[in-house]
Amino acid sequence: MKKILSAAAMLALLQLADSCKINEEFQAGLTPGQIGSGNASSLLDGAYNAMRSPFQGATQVFAMSEVTTDERLMPTRAGDWDDNGKWRALHQHNWDANHPEIRDAFANLGGVIFAATDVLRPEFGATAQQQAEARFVRAFAMYWTLDLYDQVPYREPGELVVNNAKVRKGSEALDYIISEVTAIIGTLPNTPAYRANKDAARCLLMKCYLNRGVYANRQAPTFSAADMNQVISLADQIISSGRYRFATNYFDNFAPDNTNIGTENIFTELNVGGVSSGAQYDLWRFISHYNMTPQGYNGPCALPSFYDTFGASDLRRGQVYKYTNGPSNQFNHQNVGFLIGQQYYLNGTTKRGGLDSALVDRTGAPLAFTRDVKIIETGSNLEVTGIRPMKYPPDFTNNASGATDNDMVHFRLPDVLLMKAEAILRGGTGTTAGSYGSTALALVNSIRTDASRAAGALGTVDLNTLYAERGRELYLENWRRQDMVRFGKYLGPIEQGPTSSDPKYLIFPIPNQQLAVNPNLTQNSGY
Amino acid sequence: MRNTCYSTHQAYEQPAARSALSGKTLLLALFLPVLGHAQTAREVTGKVTDNTGAGLPGVTVLVTGTSVGASTGADGDFRLQVPATATSLTVSFVGYARQTVDITGRNTVTIALKDDAQALGDVVVVGYGTARKEDLTGAVSTLSTKDFNKGTFTSPDQLLQGRTSGVQITQNSGQPGGASTIRIRGNSAVTGTGQPLYVVDGVPLDGRSARPGLNTSLGDSPDSNPLNFLNPADIESLTVLKDASATAIYGSRAAYGVVLITTKRGKVGEPKFDFGVSGGFSNIMRRIKVLDASQFREAINYYGLDPKQLDLGQSNDPLGAILQTGPLQNYNGAVSGGGENGRYRLSLGYLDQKGIVKKTGFQKYTANFVTNAKFLESKRLGVDVNITASQSREQLAPITNNGDFRGSLIGQALQWNPTDKLYNDDGTPFVRQGQVINPVAQQQYYNDNARVTTALASISPYYKFTDWLEYRALFATNYSTGIRRTSIDQRLNIQDYLNLGYAAISTTELQTQQMTHTLNFNKKVTTDLNVNALLGYEYTKFNYSGTNLSGRGPVSSNGTPIGFGTYGLDYTNYLQYSNPSGRQISSFVDPVTELQSFFGRAILNYKDRYLLTATLRADGSTKFGDNNKYGYFPSVSAAWDISQEDFLKSKYESLSQLKLRVGYGRTGNQEFPAGSARSQFVFQANNGGLVQTTNANPNLKWQSDEQYNGGIDVALFNNKVTLTADYFYKRTTDLLYPNIPGFPAAPGGSSVIWQNLNGVIVNKGVELLLGVTAVDNERFGINFTANATFVNNNVTGLPNALIIQTGTLSGQGLSGVLAETIQNGQPLNGFYLPTYNGINPSTGLYNDFTAASYVGNPNPTTLAGLSATFRFAKLSLITNFNGVFGNKIYNNTFNSVLNVSQIRAGKNISLSEYQGVKESLANAVTPSTRYLESGNFVKLSNVTLSYALGDFGKVFKGASIYAIAQNVFVITKYRGFDPEVNTNKAQGVVPSAGIDYTGYPSARTFTFGVNFSL
């Protein structure tokens, strides 16, 4: 008996000894030690994918850059789109430091900075090019953080998040971004557009130099000729590479297959249809009516005064876009650009009473989008008010799975041309590069008169016409707020928005949530 | 219900029982030969029977306080010479509660023993062992089978509802098998579930269910109940440890209280077969009032809408069309018995309960085997083995917690135009293309079946070195696996699945392994001092893993949908046919969590009136940060039984008990995801790269709860009136919180850093429990038990700028809206909403709202329960009421589903809002106090009528028949289905409270049954 007991006791003690060391073992995730070196390319992919959160879709950076401007309105339509007034607050410039989109954009831009910084941890052994790409991604996210919030928090590679992140502000942050991009540009590859490349870095530097005066003084920016000549010189390098040309169709740049046919695109975020993507489908889902195909949530629209800046022949305003795997649209109804008037069932079969059937709204009234719209719609036609901008042709094949193919576009050739033209108008010296001319007028007309736009040549170009052209060419591409600030238009009047808003709105507030956890941040003045 | 801190009002327990023998004396008495004594003065004769009246042989009958005694004969009769001074006899028998009877002036007595299952009179299950009830110093409530709620239950927690003070149990949904929310002494969960720790026969449970979750375009499905694997019929007792002096022995997992579940075991005696069968049905308890077809037609005119569009000519009841009267059947059989060397009990159970929503239901198969064997001549070595195997099968409806504008099945049924058709002429469900979904189509074109198989096995060998020193080990494994298959027919007009169809298969595995060693010392060290001490070590390991596969139907090469087809097969049966684009494959394995603990306890009893208990537990957890691997959880409590003092004992004879208790203790909570303290990189879907997802915090530790308790137990008139009152003060600090990290930090919307926040949550209050036995004699019995709990909940000390938001509202126009906050000076999860100022009668538009502020408390301030038992001869009637007061409920259903603006899109609206001021259809769905309603209610939760047939011929013993109604009615102003509701509207891991969103309606259930033994 004693033997059995002592054996049992031994067994128990052995178990004790074994279990005294308790360890948390990761089985589906990795510690930094488990990653080791040689896996930096996966980490870099993770950093690129992190960009989808702040940039893709129609929220966060998009909402802050477009809904606050004269390009986009997100009206409250009775039961729809109230969302506690957050969209109205953006358009009417009365947001505060708890605004959810402002909060989320700050966090997700910070996520990109962090993921890119992780690639640089020495123990992961990233190659020179991988490090350069990571530093570009980080600089790109820092640039947007600077542009929106004027304060850029950062961490050293491997630094624990329990430490308070250090912060660079305003011009100091800009100088850092410029020095980073300048340092890595030589190590970046030439292509493809969906990875950090030399021309993307040049575009980012152009934005930095063009807006340097803005970051120094947002209310009364001044522009130095040296900065403008930097913009022009960088533009010329991009143009001279010969890698970019106008697309056959303006909307090809945004179409599901834009990885291949978007020949103007310099820097994009890659989405792979049916495999993985960000929420870029929101560009059609938000605006589509419930009864349209693809079905949507019947929300945002364009403002009539902005719509009116387009000439009738301008193909960018809207056209019939033919592409594979979409509805047949055999009666050639306009399906991209600004949707106005009666909408149709584009598969043209037998949906509601025969071929080519006109759609109705949920009350049975014709689904005919009207020009006029108010920020709070109360009329009986509240479902159909507002012109709906369909900038990204929907990916019908993959819409259901949510992994849609349309790459999200950051930088395009026309933006480079328009920035060069603006730099010339702001005191830079015109130069000849490519076939686009050396004057602001020539540069602008090279875009307008291309067959893909067919907008007709302008007689003269000044800053005001250039500003309007930027609106027409780049609408809903996240640049409107930045442009309005630089051109002094952001404080109003804005249709359905403020007639004149407080200058504090030139910079977004640091989210209260972040102020609470990082004492190195200070609230921007006025909030 | 009965609180074991005091001797109860139960009639069979006579006052003298309190001066009872210690367990040791009893044991000695059992093993000593019965000695006759010389100073015999008189003879007492009698009979000892069981509760059915059958004589019990071999029962020890002793003159109380002496070793003078006798054993009963074959028919239970005994004959005993007692000293002249003797006033009572003590009767004891293995498997039965010891009983003391008065013999003053009597020479013949009949004693009916109650078995342990009914009694648990003297010994109470506490953590890692038992203690004499008299020795308890903490706030502990024990319920045994007779105290349980009666009726049809899918899990044992429902047996407790309304029966104990300080415990709030809310069924989250009417779905059979659905989870419930349990709050012991208020709400202190800033994160996690806030659910108590369940311990089944010494094995603490993981607390999660292995049923895989489901996320479709319609939202996330509600959780399943983790206790579903237990058969309520196998439960002998439920003990709720409420204050920290009782729970601290469970250390870092005990902060939300502990519920000890003890299963039935065999009793010494002839093999016995117990059988119970019941059947019944359920229907909806209460409906939400929406417009019927004629009211809908009126409303179309009233709002000036086009009848040609909206009046579709029929008169239907869409909600009625998806509901049914759900039948139920329940069978339980158990064989038990044993001798001195071993006892056994084997039980089998089968429950089949259909829901009140068609195509929903719950089926459960359970088997439970318990054996207790003793070895060696000395019987010092023994082993207890306990095996539970069960499988539950759920058929689930598409009723989610957070459905979008298409709602869930209930939302669709409430919204469907009552003039629109539900069926095509051929009987198939009608599908109207567009946004609205016919609930009948949704129901018919949706299949969701889950199966959870659980095995809980433990073996516990022990060795008694001496009568007062015992070593015991416990080795246990709890393995649970779930599989869920879900498909959505391509004919259903959900945009993402229309013409394609959807199929998903998920599995999960959940395993807990445990090893416990304890050494127990229980000795009278001096004449007046008894010491009951415990030392222990425990090691537990948790594993959780799962997989998920899903896909949509195929498309042709030009992108035209083909879909899974309409072959009548479940789409999950041929998932390979799906479209490779958008197929989802994922798997996960949580980091293994290990928990290592050392603990000890001492209970000192001096002169049976001064009691002191002290415990200490040290817990090491792999989940904690490197700098805080171990936590220490002490407790101390004391009690003084004043009624044992001579100065009271002699003076106030009507006072049966007066006991004062005080206690203090600290417990912890470590409910946060494993791996949160360290940097973790995970692989993203579909070549998505590798990215850091957790933000390391090496200082992360447990959340700390300190609790003070003061109580008094009073019993009067031979326990005919009993009162227990407790005051508690529970202070929760070092709040575990997934704080927003200071960015830059790990990317992703769910990026958090788990921290111990500064902040204090205080729950304080009073619990009262009153028992009155008004009449108790052979023919009549009238018995009342009432309990009430008053709780106050408050948050202080959070960092000033921090306002934790939660309470996600859902539905059209409510994206990203959060209705609750956790902030200083307010109760946890206080509603933070704009104030509704009515409607301008001339325009029908809203008057301006007052800006958002704190507008209400979702936590009840008062809980009450009342149970009345009436017995007339063999007929008895039990009625249970429970009520909840002082809380608000946010009616998200009325806000987003039934607001009047929906009618312009041809959807139904609520009757109450249509009947008010004529409201403009352009009003936004602005969340506001308009939808914040009082949660006060009183519910007749249970009526049980039973008739004890007794023995039935020679074969059937102890037969009884009964009829039970559950959820009979509810008195409330709340406009939803049931004010007893808690939809999970968590924001991330921060739970919500008191929000109702298109949940599964509550059922009223009728059960008829018979029990008997062979």
Q: Per residue in B828-880, pLDDT tens?
A: 999 999 999 999 988 888 999 999 999 999 999 999 999 999 999 899 999 99
Q: How confident is the model at residue B12 (pLDDT cuts 50, 70, 90)?
A: very low
Burial track B882-895 (b if 16+ CB lie within 10 A, e otherwise): bbbbbbbbbbbbbb
What pLDDT is stored for residue B3 in this prediction? 40
DSSP string, A489-526: -TTS--TTS-SS--GGGGSPPPPHHHHHH-TT--PPTT
Is the Cβ–Cβ distance between B832 and B856 less than 8 Å?
no
DSSP string, B361-425: EEEEEEEEEEEEEEESTT--EEEEEEEEEEEEEEE--S--SS--TT--HHHHHHHS-TTS-SB-T
- A420 in contact with chain B, both atoms CB, cutoff 8 A: no
Q: Could you read off the pLDDT of B463-517 as tens digits, one per residue?
A: 999 989 999 999 999 999 999 999 999 999 887 888 999 999 999 999 999 999 9
Q: Which residues neighbour A168 within 8 Å (Cβ) at sequence distance 6 or greater?
A: A151, A152, A154, A176
Please give the single-letter amino acid code of residue B415: Q
In Å, how far are A172, B159, B160 from B150, measured between CA atoms?
Answer: 72, 7, 10
- B812 in contact with chain A, both atoms CB, cutoff 8 A: yes
* pLDDT for residue B739 is more than 90: no
**A residues 298-317 closer than 8 Å to B (CB):** none
* Chain B residues whose beta carbon lies within 8 Å of the beta carbon of residue A107: 740, 743, 745, 749, 751
Q: Could you read off the pLDDT of B787-844 as tens digits, one per residue?
A: 999 999 999 998 876 788 889 999 887 887 899 999 899 999 999 999 999 999 888 8
**A residues 200-259 closer than 8 Å to B (CB):** none
Which residues is B507 bridged to in the sheet?
Answer: B483, B547
* pLDDT for residue B30 is more than 80: no
What pLDDT is stored for residue B4 in this prediction? 38
| Secondary structure letter of residue A211 according to DSSP | H
Tokens of B680: 């973790």
CB contact under 8 A, B308 and A44: no
**H or E stretch covering B449:** strand B446-466
Tokens of A390: 């369909």
CB contact under 8 A, B622 and A118: no
Name the H helices within B421-556: 439-444
Nearest to A471 by CA among A422, A407, A430: A422
* pLDDT for residue B15 is more than 50: no
Mutate to test the interface with A, among B465, B743, B753, B818 (most CBs of A within 10 A): B743
* pLDDT for residue B349 is more than 50: yes
Q: Compute the distance between CA of residue B789 and CA of residue B884 in angstroms, rounded to an integer.
A: 10
**B residues 724-743 closer than 8 Å to A (CB):** 739-743
In Å, how far are A292, B220, B295, B410 from B437, measured between CA atoms?
Answer: 16, 18, 21, 11
CB atoms within 10 A of CB A183: 12
Q: Compute the distance between CA of residue A415 and CA of residue B294 in angstroms, rounded to an integer.
A: 60
* pLDDT for residue B348 is more than 70: yes
Mean pLDDT of the B954-965 span: 89
What pLDDT is stored for residue B31 in this prediction? 38
Q: How far apart are the first and last CA of chain A?
A: 80
Q: How confident is the model at residue A47 (pLDDT cuts 50, 70, 90)?
A: very high
Q: Compute the distance between CA of residue A431 and CA of residue A226 in angstroms, rounded to an integer.
A: 14
Cis peptide before A493 (omega within 30 of 0): yes
CB contact under 8 A, A23 and B674: no
Q: Which residues neighbour B331 within 8 Å (Cβ) at sequence distance 6 or greater?
A: B275, B276, B277, B349, B350, B351
Residue A278 has, within 13 A of its CA and on its CB side, a CA count of 25
CB atoms within 10 A of CB A37: 11
Nearest to B334 by CA among B236, B239, B226: B236
Question: What is the torsion angle, in degrees rounded to the nearest 10, for the CA atoms of residue B982, residue B988, residue B991 and residue B993?
Answer: -50
Shortest Cα distance from A46 to chain B (angstroms)?
A: 4
- Residue indicated by tokens 């104030």: B835
Mean pLDDT of the B541-546 span: 94
Nearest to B174 by CA among B430, B380, B353, B434: B353
pLDDT over 90 for what percent of chain B? 55
Is the Cβ–Cβ distance between A276 and A401 less than 8 Å?
no
Please give the single-letter amino acid code of residue B713: D
Q: Mean pLDDT, chain A, as a whole number?
A: 92
Nearest to B400 by CA among B203, B213, B664: B213
Is the Cβ–Cβ distance between B201 and B261 less than 8 Å?
yes
What pLDDT is stored for residue A357 in this prediction? 77
Q: Which of B16-25, B171-180, B753-762 has the highest mean pLDDT?
A: B753-762
Tally of helices (H runs) and strands (E runs) in chain B = 11, 53
Q: Compute the distance between CA of residue B910 and CA of residue B794 in angstroms, rounded to an integer.
A: 35
Shortest Cα distance from B131 to chain A (angstroms)?
A: 26
A25 vs B210, higher pLDDT: B210
- B926 in contact with chain A, both atoms CB, cutoff 8 A: yes
Nearest to B374 by CA among B340, B338, B344, B335: B340
Tokens of B724: 């227990």
Tokens of B350: 């089968």
What pLDDT is stored for residue A152 in this prediction? 98
Burial track A287-308 (b if 16+ CB lie within 10 A, e otherwise): bbbbbbbbbbbbbbbbbbebbe
Q: Compute the distance between CA of residue B194 and CA of residue B545 in angstroms, rounded to an integer.
A: 23
Q: Could you read off the pLDDT of B136-194 as tens digits, one per residue?
A: 888 888 888 888 888 888 888 888 888 888 888 888 888 898 888 888 888 877 787 88
Strands (E), B797-914: 804-808, 818-822, 830-835, 850-856, 862-872, 875-885, 888-891
SS3 B205: coil
Strands (E), B221-360: 235-241, 258-263, 269-284, 326-338, 342-354
Q: Could you read off the pLDDT of A114-166 as tens digits, one per residue?
A: 999 999 999 999 999 999 999 999 999 999 999 999 999 999 999 999 999 99
CB contact under 8 A, A162 and B799: no
Q: Compute the distance between CA of residue B810 and CA of residue B391 in angstroms, rounded to an integer.
A: 34
Closest CB to A79: pick one of B679, B689, B925: B925
**B108-112 and B40-49 beta bridge pairing:** parallel
Q: Compute the distance between CA of residue B923 and CA of residue A190 in angstroms, rounded to an integer.
A: 54
* pLDDT for residue B28 is more than 50: no
CB contact under 8 A, A325 and B558: yes
Give me the interface pTM, i.e. the ipTM. 0.88
Q: Could you read off the pLDDT of A357-373 as tens digits, one per residue?
A: 788 888 788 999 999 99
Q: Could you read off the pLDDT of A90-119 as tens digits, one per residue?
A: 999 999 998 999 999 999 999 999 999 999
Question: What is the torsion angle, in degrees rounded to the nearest 10, for the CA atoms of residue A141, residue A143, residue A149 and residue A150?
Answer: 140
Q: Compute the distance between CA of residue A70 and CA of residue A471 in angstroms, rounded to an integer.
A: 10
Phi and psi at residue B918, to the nearest 5°: -65, 115
Tokens of B796: 């202080």
Is the Cβ–Cβ distance between A479 and A211 less than 8 Å?
no
* pLDDT for residue A9 is more than 90: no
**H or E stretch covering A239:** helix A225-240
CB contact under 8 A, B591 and A42: no
**B residues 426-455 closer than 8 Å to A (CB):** 433-435
What pLDDT is stored for residue A516 in this prediction? 85
- Residue indicated by tokens 């129901």: B443
**A residues 9-28 closer than 8 Å to B (CB):** 12, 15-16, 19-20, 22-28
Tokens of B972: 């409330």
User: Does the CA dihedral A506-A512-A514-A518 come out positive or negative?
Assistant: positive
Question: What is the torsion angle, in degrees rounded to the nearest 10, for the CA atoms of residue A157, residue A160, residue A166 and residue A168?
Answer: 40
Q: Which pTM value belongs to this model?
A: 0.83
What pLDDT is stored for residue B68 in this prediction? 80
Q: Which residues neighbour A482 within 8 Å (Cβ) at sequence distance 6 or greater?
A: A65, A147, A207, A211
